[in-house]
Structures are given as C-alpha cells and as structure tokens.
Structure 1
Amino acid sequence: MASWTLFSPPCSPVTLPTSSAAKTNAASNNKCYCFWRSSSSEKKRAIRRIITKATEEGESSSSSSGSKDEETPGFNPFGFVNNNPSSRSAIQLPDLPADDGNVGQMISRIENKGREYGSYIKSGEYRWFVRETDAGFHCFAPDWLGFGFSDKPEKGYDDFDFTENEFHEELDKLLDVLEVKYPFFLVVQGFLVGSYGLTWALKNPSRISKLAILNSPLTASSPLPGLFQQLRIPLLGEFTAQNAIMAERFIEAGSPYVLKLDKADVYRLPYLASSGPGFALLEAARKVNFKDISSRIGAGFSSGSWDKPVLVAWGISDKYLPQSVAEEFQKGNPNVVKLQMIEGAGHMPQEDWPEKVVDALRYFFLNYT
C-alpha cells in the first residue's frame, strides 16, 4: 500500500512501476534507480468459504426481497465482497469451471499475473521480487518484504518483525546487492512504507539528490484511514487482514475511479494465494506509530532541517488525505518544497493518472533545482 522510487541524476522520465508497469522511453543515457512500493491451505479454504457464502447470500437477498428491502438494504457483514465494482466483476466468472468456488476461479485466472515483469533477488535472508526496466536508465521496483511476490517473514519463525528499523535495514541490504550508486532520486507514496521511505531519507540525506512525494501522510494533522484503525483491533484486525480483496478496496476507496480489473487482479492475487501478506500488513500496522512518524516527517523536512529539492505531486481527489496536508507541508519549507496538484487523481495518483504523474516527475528531475 505504498511505493518507493529511487533515481540517480540526471534522469529521464520514468513510468511508475506498478504491478503491471510498462517500459518507458527515455532520452538520457544516465542510469536511474527506482524503488516502488506491498500460508496455510486451511486458511485459504476458510477465506474461500466466506467469499462464496457472501456472494450466495447477496444473490439470495436480492432475489427474495420485497419493495421495502429494495429501498433499505439489509445488513450484510460480508458486504465487502460484492459491493465493490472491480470485486463484483472479478468474482462473477460463470464461464469458468471451478473446483473450489469463486475464489478458485479467480486464482486460476490471475495466477502468476505480473511475474513476467520481474525476477527474484536474494538480499540477506530474504528474496525480493524486483521489477526492472532499462531504457536509457535503470529502474528497480521491488515488492516489499511481506507483500506481493517477495518473501513473507512469519512472526515467531523469522527475525524480521515488521518494524521501521527493520524495513530500513533490509532496504540497505537490497541497495548493496543491486549496487545502487549515490546520490539518487527517491520517490515515495503511501501510508506505511511510504512513510518509512521518508524517515529513511531523513536518516540518509547524503544518499539523496532529489525527493518526490506522492500522496503520503506528511504532518501530524494527517488523518488515519479506517483500515489501519480496524487492523489494530483484536480479532477484527485478524479478520480484516485476511480479506482477499482488501488491497483493491483500499485503493478504490481513496480514488475517484474504479480500479481497472487487470490491475485489481495483481493487487488481490497475493491475498488470495496466501495468508502471508495479510498477516504482514497486520503486524506492520500494529507496530507503526503514525502520529509519531508524521510528526518526525513534518519537522525533519522543515526549513533549516532539509535543503534538498522536494516535489509534492498530490492527487487532489484523495479521500484519505486532504489537500491541506500537502499545503501545510509545503509551507513548512517553501524555498525547497514544490507543490504540484494532480487533477483527476486520488490517493494513488500513479494508478489514477500515471501520465500526469510521469510528466510531473520528468519536469522535476530534469529542471528543478
């Protein structure tokens, strides 16, 4: 639910490396490094039973309800399954045979989607799945440990405990393995590892040439989405973390658009195939102190504390973080921070309108000093 990108200057424009990222044409021959930023079969079967049951209940309810029910829908505790546009289209696959319900159909259809864009890199004790492009510059885009196709450390069995310092330490190891040179351009986005990307930058200012920030919590006034609040509640957090379509729901809820089905497929696949990503998110969400981190970010990038060029490219239709967060951050260091609003984009502008985001990054990297 977050993104990191690193570049070495000077640098040509770069496509945002989403799970289904395309190659970008670039005029420069200089290299550019980019980092983007997300178990048991019994649990898989339980998730499948829940989703299948919820779908059946939804169909039964709609066919047997009277006029009063049509005006006032009844409470459905599993409404997250069939009240989301891209989820509805994904779950209803009547033309495909299934041995294990609708989720089985989904897994059959989307298994391995997105893997063709990257490969595995061993760093320390873990393997990262890293997408790589090279069109006049070099771009690496890893799935973060615990998410996507990367290794998913297990609580109680592995040394990785999903804390801020551990994310920082594992990133350092990966940078060494990939032989990323300094200084580089860093791009971050999102609540969790996006915030950790900014605190990593505050620890390592000499490694960074320019910093670009897409919608992320930047000040102590940044609100916290309901998802992260739910994950902190015992039992409810465990259930929420195993919601197989949680990732796409989070993206769509912060956006003015429905997530395209091919992209929703890639985001939901890890949660359908394993309980690992859900438990990774659960552990990370319970370890992070967003209020403390946002306060450190606001103070650390203020005037007198940070002097490297910063671009804040902000999707103004973000339903999680208001525009005032970006404006407050920019006022804290107006001579360094450039604020550019991305119209028509929400919390993840790289998904909503990637062309506008790429244009903003291109101009910033090549011209802004």
Structure 2
Amino acid sequence: MVFSTMYSPTLNLAISSTTNYSCRRRRASSTISYRGVNNIIIRASSSEKSESKSKDQDDKSSFNPFGFVTDNPSSRSAIQLSENPAEAGNVGQMIDKIQDKGKEYGSYVKSGKLRWFVRETGSANSRRGTIVFLHGAPTQSFSYRVVMSELGDAGFHCFAPDWIGFGFSDKPQPGYGFNYTEKEFHDALDKLLEVLGVESPFSLVVQGFLVGSYGLTWALKNSSKISKLAILNSPLTSSSPIPGLFQQLRFPLYGEFQCQNAIIAERFIERGSPYVLKNEKADVYRLPYLASGGPGFALLEAARKANFNGTFSEIAEGFAANRWDKPVLLAWGLSDKYLPQSIAEEFQKGNTQNIKLKLIEGAGHMPQEDWPEKVVDALRMFF
C-alpha cells in the first residue's frame, strides 16, 4: 500500500514523496501503527494475522528495547505525531509539548562566550574517578542518559556535553564566533573541561562521526590527560565508509535543503540500526532541528569543513602500537549498518596489545542507545 506525503516548510519536515508502509510490526496485535504525518493506521488481513501470530511466538523470548524491530527502510521515512492529528496543533504547539523532554541530569554551563548543555551524574567525590562522554553527529548527549545514570550509581562521576551546534548547546551562526572547524571544537572542549573542573587523567568515551571523530583526535593531542579510552562504533580507519548524509550535505543547495530536515537525527540513528525509535525518544532527537534552523546549518558547516578521510587516517595512525600505549576498549555494535565489524577488527590489529575488542550483539551504530545495559556492563568491567 502506497501513500503520498508532502514536504511542508512550515513544519520543517522532509518526507519522501512516496512511502511504502507495508512492513509488519512484531507485536501480537492485529493493528499495525506506523509513524506518518497523517498517523496512518493499517489493519492486517486475516492471513497476515495468522502469519504474524506464528512469528510473534518465535520472537517472544528475545528482548527488544524498542518494542519492535524492522529492517524495512520505508518505516524510516515517516515521523511520529499525535495519534489524533487534529490534536497535534501547529508547529509551535508541537514544540511546546516536547521542549522539556530529554534534559535528564542536564544543566547549562557558560564557557567563554558559549553556553553548553552538560549532563552530569555521580559527584566530584565519586570513588571511581571521572568519565567524559562525547557523542557524534548529528545526535546529542541524550544517547548516553541510561549509561551515565547507571555508571553514576556505580561510583563514577560522569559528564556528557552536547557539542556546540548540537542538542541543547549554543548554535552560533557560522562566521560569528564559531566556524565549526576541528580546531575550534578542540579549543572549545579544552575550555569546557576547565570550567567543569575535570581533573586529569580521566576516562573518555567516544562514539560516532564528525564531532565523534574530533573527540578521538582531541584524545591523540591530549594523551597525557587520558587514563583509559572507550570507543563505541566510530570510523577508525581509512577504509571507513562515509554515510550518505554527510556526502549529501556537501552538495551546494541540496545540502542547504537537506540540513533543514527536522527528522535528520532520528532517521540517521534508525538507518544505522535494526531498530526504530519509540516516539518519546524520537521527540528529543527531533526537537533541536524542529525548533530552529540553527542546528541544521551548524551540521552543514561542520560537514563541509571536515576532512573525513584525512581524519580517519590520522586516527588509525595515532592509535597504532608504536604511538598509543593507554588501554582502549572497542565496544562494537554488530548490527551497525554504517560501519562493518571489519573496521573494528582492522583497527584492533594495529595495536593488539592495548586495544581490546568487545562485540555487542543486537546493537547498531549507537550501542548506547540501542542496548545501554550491555554497554554499561562492558564499561564497568573496563573502567
């Protein structure tokens, strides 16, 4: 069954012109609900009910943190709204309903002229030391909320900032105080760590593309400040693929259009994972892009300033056996659709003495979001 949808500048949503909503949801229910601008509900036929019931019985024993799974890419081109579209209201009302979501453990911190949104768990007196978590593009520190909560309870002092231009942190217009270059991200992080009073050496956790990669190049330039490093799915070698999103952002005009897609972050997460985000989580990843054009243009500028292949090579060489001697845990989601397992294995071969590879079954590109419990177990053992 095919439904047509439109692009609405008012809602700042970019949805494909035709979307196939025929994929099934793995739940023992005859009603299949999909995220769509008109919140389309499809009733399964009797034959589909019978097939679904038998398959559901096979899946009952498997834990699924999302409630349902799908590998049908059509489900990733929709957006969740109210079950009753008439109650959704205009874009201002939508923002008002979700603007206080996703700020668990967070507060605003001023560092120079920039205001960061920083999540914190544990305390400065935590007996097991400090861990700093850095997210990748185009997401935010919200992805670490469960991991840092549990590690805070386990005795660690945890910080997870939203990079400048992302999440709830400031998003300066390019050319006016911040140009989204690697050096500026590094300098801004230095100042923030000083304001937060993070004492060296501390433990660092990094995940993702672009600003995630800058977290790793920052570590290479500041190895004396790092005691242990944990890397979740990130591009680590010159053979690492570059997702289509970042390639599209480099095209003139098309990049300007693409960066204003309000569902850019949630769709990026889902395309790298076998799971579809629940509505309450998608709301948070969507909110910054829905509220203004700032985060989209920040992402656009950062993507165009980045030297992806050069950075990937720098990371591979910098963490090689003859150059890096600190313990590294490489916790890798096996279902990552952006970065195959071979990237992790190739990276580990460059420094087998110091890099330990931990494979996380069932998790995709963002293990901390897909299966935080397994990430917590791996990090607790390592730290």
Counterpart of 1:195? Answer: 213
Tell me the SS of whatever aligns to 2:235: coil
Counterpart of 1:145? Answer: 164
Counterpart of 1:37? Answer: none
Preserved CA contact (<8 Å) 1:162 1:283: yes
Tell me the SS of whatever aligns to 1:48: coil
User: CA 1:186–1:97 in structure 2 vs 1: closer, same or farther (change >3 Å)?
Assistant: closer
Structure 2 counterpart of 1:111, from 75, 92, 99: 99
Tell me the SS of whatever aligns to 1:338: strand
Q: Which has the higher contact order (CA 8 A, sep 6+)?
A: 1
Offset from partner CA, 1:220-255 (integer Å, 9 cap, x none) = 000000000000001110111000001000000000
| Aligned length in residues | 297
Preserved CA contact (<8 Å) 1:47 1:243: no
Tell me the SS of whatever aligns to 1:89: coil
2:368 maps to 1:350: yes
Counterpart of 1:66? Answer: none
In the alignment, the residues of structure 2 paired with residue 292 and residue 89 of structure 1 have an alpha-carbon distance, to the nearest angstrom, of 38
Offset from partner CA, 1:329-350 (integer Å, 9 cap, x none) = 0000001100010000000000
In the alignment, the residues of structure 2 paired with residue 295 and residue 187 of structure 1 have an alpha-carbon distance, to the nearest angstrom, of 20
Tell me the SS of whatever aligns to 1:227: helix
Offset from partner CA, 1:163-207 (integer Å, 9 cap, x none) = 000000000000110110000111100011110011001101100
Preserved CA contact (<8 Å) 1:48 1:104: no
**Matched residues, percent identical?**
70
The letter for the 2-side match of 1:139 is C
Counterpart of 2:115? Answer: 127
User: CA 1:110–1:93 in structure 2 vs 1: closer, same or farther (change >3 Å)?
Assistant: farther
The letter for the 1-side match of 2:258 is T
Q: Which structure dedicates a bigger proportion of its chain to helix?
A: 1
Counterpart of 1:46? Answer: 9
Preserved CA contact (<8 Å) 2:334 2:362: yes
2:203 maps to 1:212: no
How far is the alpha carbon of 1:93 from its aligned partner?
4.1
- TM score, norm. by length of structure 1: 0.75
Preserved CA contact (<8 Å) 1:185 1:209: yes
Counting only pairs closer than 5 Å after superposition, residues 1-369 of structure 1 correspond to structure 2 as: 46-48=9-11, 83-84=74-75, 87-90=78-81, 93-94=84-85, 96=87, 98=89, 100=90, 103-134=91-122, 135=153, 136-156=155-175, 158-365=176-383
In the alignment, the residues of structure 2 paired with residue 89 and residue 303 of structure 1 have an alpha-carbon distance, to the nearest angstrom, of 47
Q: What RMSD, in angstroms, separates the aligned Cα atoms of the two structures?
A: 2.5
Tell me the SS of whatever aligns to 1:120: strand
Counterpart of 1:25? Answer: none
In the alignment, the residues of structure 1 paired with residue 93 and residue 198 of structure 2 have an alpha-carbon distance, to the nearest angstrom, of 40
The letter for the 1-side match of 2:87 is L
Tell me the SS of whatever aligns to 1:190: coil
In the alignment, the residues of structure 2 paired with residue 107 and residue 54 of structure 1 have an alpha-carbon distance, to the nearest angstrom, of 24
How far is the alpha carbon of 1:89 from its aligned partner?
2.9
Tell me the SS of whatever aligns to 1:131: strand
The letter for the 2-side match of 1:144 is W
User: CA 1:238–1:215 in structure 2 vs 1: closer, same or farther (change >3 Å)?
Assistant: same
How far is the alpha carbon of 1:46 from its aligned partner?
2.7
